Structure 1
Amino acid sequence: QRLCGPGNDPDPIVSLEDASGGSGALEYLWMKSTAPNLDLILWEPIPEATGPSYDPPLVFETTYFLRCVRREGCTFYLETNIVTIEVGDDAIARIVGPDVLCQGETVMYTAETATASPEISWQFNGPLYPLQRSGATIPVVAEYAGLAEIFLTVRENGCTAINWTTVTVDRCGSQNRQNGQAQAYPNPSRDQMTLELPVLSKGGAWASVFNTQGELKLQYRIPEGAGELKLDLTPLPSGVYFLEIRQKSGRREFIKVRRL
């Protein structure tokens, strides 16, 4: 198959003939890769794609699909032919701009397209706020720290192309550290968060993460004089938590954080 541009929905990949030979129920597994010459062991299995046919979702770059099959009770799969879904460049929706920026910063994002006068549509989710809504290049301000998504739709040459990207907004706040306040960013975060620390009192401190019921979920020892600490939120389910920084002197500080 060939798609005119990224972000289009391909036709289903239909089985022309069931596997034959052996006995027992057939078990199917679909895999994909964006590199056709990659060793099959490195191809990515597609969750829940376990039937003889497969209907791929939107495809953003040329992708190769492969169906594997075995009989129930067998260990190894046999592979069929590779199906290529090619993404053309009749329409292009390439987002050009920083993927990390600071809270309060204004930056420019540009749409790279195939023609000079396409129809362009932007959408921003999260802390990014566009100062104008249309145009190939638009100014955007980062209102607060966290993760943002940018969606770009381009219509040209009779084709619609869609693309998206994720951007991190950091607090980048030397001001808070000068005021003796800790800060955590990106907030919200999917997995990793950085705790930026003021000058600590002698003896260091503890960073503790509590859920909204006050139950302790994570705890980290902060060495004396540490400037920052990396927090791993992956053991936590999505939700709101409270991060407590407790110094040996007795000083306590709380930061409300959210795991996506």
Structure 2
Amino acid sequence: MIYTGCHLSSAKGFEAMGKNALKLGADTFAFFTRNPRGGNAKAIDPADAARFRELAAKHHFGKIVAHAPYTLNPCGAKEEVRDFAFRAFQEDLVRMEYIPGNYYNFHPGSHVGQGAEKGIELIADLLNQSLKTEQTTTVLLETMAGKGTEVGRSFEELRAILDRVELKEKMGVCLDTCHVWDGGYDIVNHFNEALEEFDAVIGLNYLKAIHSNDSLNPLGAHKDRHARLGEGHIGLEAFRRIASHPKLQGLPFIMETPNDDEGWTKEIAMMRKFAEERN
């Protein structure tokens, strides 16, 4: 089995997101820890978090995948950009302990002309200053499409970050299907080979979550434009193979598709059905 869900609004709190997920037929979900474009985070209501924990346990939710704001860039060239990344990242890890044992996903960032090696160094520095032995949250690096100066455009770049992190046991990777396709990994015709390459370079033990997104772009476009499942260049048959792959069972699959509640309900049910078809 896999756990399926989509991005939900955190405006009304954890319990409301959990109930909304159930209405969509989901047993996991993703949410932004604050406005995706940055800013201060809304205060957490401990009672609301407690009610969500009870709801999630009752309905056997999988891991929840929180998402850092897009503006969080630990390898930016400007000091104020890096300062915001450190502050937001560390605040978010504290806040995640209200729903312990879940995932905090972030885009590694863009080196903006400093070079990938410098970017990798700065990202690892953020992680080494922020990760704590006592935290229950696993931090996920997201695979990126390679747009502009993004770091994380290849499995090797993610591995280079992990190699520099001291508390590796607190780390994982979220594989975004649109991003890896746009990054040049042919998950349509050679998904098994792509997964084998991931295992050889990073290790499947680090693969903790999947962002299930079709792509409006052809293979290797190095862009990032998500499409509804089956309405892009990846196609439904590829998602059938991905959802039913025996090495991906038990992972949360998050739909980040441009959709509404009706569309997400259909995608969530479809991906779950695909997973149940596995041999």
Common topology (TM > 0.5): no
Higher normalized strand content (fraction of residues): 1
Q: TM-score, normalised by structure 1?
A: 0.26
Higher relative helix content: 2
Larger radius of gyration: 1
